[in-house]
Homo-oligomer: A and B are copies of this chain.
């Protein structure tokens, strides 16, 4: 038989009658399969609204990411931004240079280290980033409100667990900056 019968995914699930596994039902393979679907459709729902705005301006998701993280960390160095995005200097350059040329982002030499080009959003850049955020805010607010505070806390815990070390460190840094 070449094809996977409908019930096959469930076959690897632990038997439901096993007493020790009672609390581990949420770790069943079928639940993990569902998680794949949720992440695919959920992430797409999250990115679609800004993607539409960006398309009108002839930009892509990569531009949004740069605007977002420069907004999150004003004065970030090019190197740090590269680390966060996980792309190469050349890939970033192709997105960053137009953003600078069109006046969305402003560069300023570092005071301690003059080799660095610290990145900031201009007024224009902050305005665009805000428009993009507002479009995403609608989706996020709806999801958060429908789900409620407890669910949101759970969502955060799971997303944190999905990240690699670098991502987790970055998020923690953002939270520290927020509290201070």
| B175:A34 contact, CB within 8 angstroms | yes
Q: Evaluate contact between A163 and B45: CB separation under 8 angstroms.
A: yes
CB-defined contacts of A167 to chain B, threshold 8 Å: 41-42, 44-45
User: Which chain B residues lie closer than 8 Å to A41 at the CB level?
Assistant: 159, 162-164, 167-168, 170-171
List A17-65 residues whose CB lies under 8 Å from chain B.
23, 25-27, 29-46, 48, 65
Residue A112 CB within 8 A of the other chain: no
Query: Which chain B residues border A146 with CB–CB below 8 Å?
Result: 157, 161
Partner of A151, one of B25, B32, B158: B158
Query: Is B4's CB under 8 angstroms from A159's CB?
Result: no
A159 touches B155 (CB 8 A): yes
Q: Which of B3, B72, B140, B161 is close to A144, meaning CB atoms less than 8 Å apart?
A: B161
Q: Tell me the bound Cα distance from A164 to B106 in angstroms.
A: 35
By secondary structure, the A interface counts as helix
User: Chain B nearest CB: distance from A54 CB in Å?
Assistant: 15
B38 touches A4 (CB 8 A): no
Chain B proximity of A36: nearest CB distance (Å): 6
State which of B34, B43, B120 has its C-beta within 8 Å of the C-beta of A174: B34
Q: Are B139 and A162 in contact (CB under 8 A)?
A: yes
Tell me the complex Cα distance, A159–B175, Å: 22
A10 touches B178 (CB 8 A): yes
Q: Which 10 A-B pairs have the closest CB atoms?
A: A154-B154, A143-B161, A41-B167, A151-B154, A42-B159, A155-B158, A3-B120, A147-B157, A38-B159, A42-B162
A–B pairs, 15, beta carbons within 8 Å = A2-B121, A3-B74, A4-B74, A25-B149, A26-B152, A29-B137, A31-B152, A38-B156, A44-B164, A143-B158, A143-B162, A147-B157, A151-B153, A151-B155, A151-B158
